[in-house]
Chain A
Amino acid sequence: DQQVKQNSPSLSVQEGRISILNCDYTNSMFDYFLWYKKYPAEGPTFLISISSIKDKNEDGRFTVFLNKSAKHLSLHIVPSQPGDSAVYFCAASGTGTASKLTFGTGTRLQVTL
């Protein structure tokens, strides 16, 4: 039962363009959402988060959008840089789930020159 889904296993974007990574969830109890970036041989690194009371959160080049009615969130990276090449994981937690994170399967982003 995959409660958090990232349907695109990979994405390739040119440097300077926008990268859009998508995530869908099924559990309506989720109220907090996070994006993590993972390089090979390292643990996931926190990028940005959003609470369910908001629909947008920005931090520099990274913006997360949340559409609660569609149970969908997206991460926008503008402009994309080669150092952004990594695997991106969407994660969710809810007040009734003891704060554990439920992760998607990840999207591998490659930013090309």
Chain B
Amino acid sequence: DTGVSQDPRHKITKRGQNVTFRCDPISEHNRLYWYRQTLGQGPEFLTYFQNEAQLEKSRLLSDRFSAERPKGSFSTLEIQRTEQGDSAMYLCASSLSIAKNIQYFGAGTRLSVL
């Protein structure tokens, strides 16, 4: 069990650029979640997948955001035309659907938009 892995750990970009983050969940976990955390707040739900199906998206996920989990394993989160307000920690978590919703988090990707 190698835990949830996120890459990169840090990303600095200029406003207007596109960025993509990757998440590798715990191998046997079929549920994968993306959250966003800003300073002084708890993580906020963005979207989740069960296997390759994206089952829910938060209204926080504007049309500049897209997430995929093409083969039900790793997932990517892309932000197009980044804005300074996108600066945050992006967290990925995974869980087993039969487990009582205990989600295991990665270390996160910290995005800074200049």
Q: In the complex the two chains form, is B42's CB within 8 Å of A106's CB?
A: yes
A113 within 8 A of B: no
Given A41-B107, A43-B107, A49-B102, verify A99-B43 contact (CB < 8 Å).
no
Closest 4 CB pairs of A and B: A103-B42, A43-B105, A100-B45, A98-B56
Tell me which of B41, B44, B100 contacts A51 (CB under 8 A): B100
Given A43-B108, A98-B56, 15 new contacts (CB under 8 A): A36-B105, A42-B107, A43-B4, A43-B105, A44-B43, A44-B105, A46-B104, A89-B43, A98-B55, A99-B31, A100-B45, A100-B48, A101-B45, A101-B101, A103-B43
CA distance A41 to B48 in the complex (A): 23
Residues of chain B with a CB closer than 8 A to A102's CB: 45
Give the tally of cross-chain contacts (CB within 8 A).
61
* Chain A interface residues (CB < 8 Å from chain B): 4, 32, 34, 36, 41-46, 49, 51, 89, 91, 93, 98-106
CA distance A102 to B101 in the complex (A): 12
Residues of chain B with a CB closer than 8 A to A51's CB: 100
* Chain B interface residues (CB < 8 Å from chain A): 4, 6, 31, 33, 35, 40-45, 48, 55-56, 58, 91, 93, 95, 100-108
CA distance A45 to B55 in the complex (A): 24
Q: 8 A-B contacts, Cβ less than 8 Å apart?
A: A32-B100, A34-B103, A36-B105, A43-B4, A43-B93, A46-B102, A51-B100, A106-B42
Residues of chain A with a CB closer than 8 A to B103's CB: 34, 46, 101
Minimum CB–CB distance from A98 to chain B (whole Å) comes to 5
Minimum CB–CB distance from A26 to chain B (whole Å) comes to 15
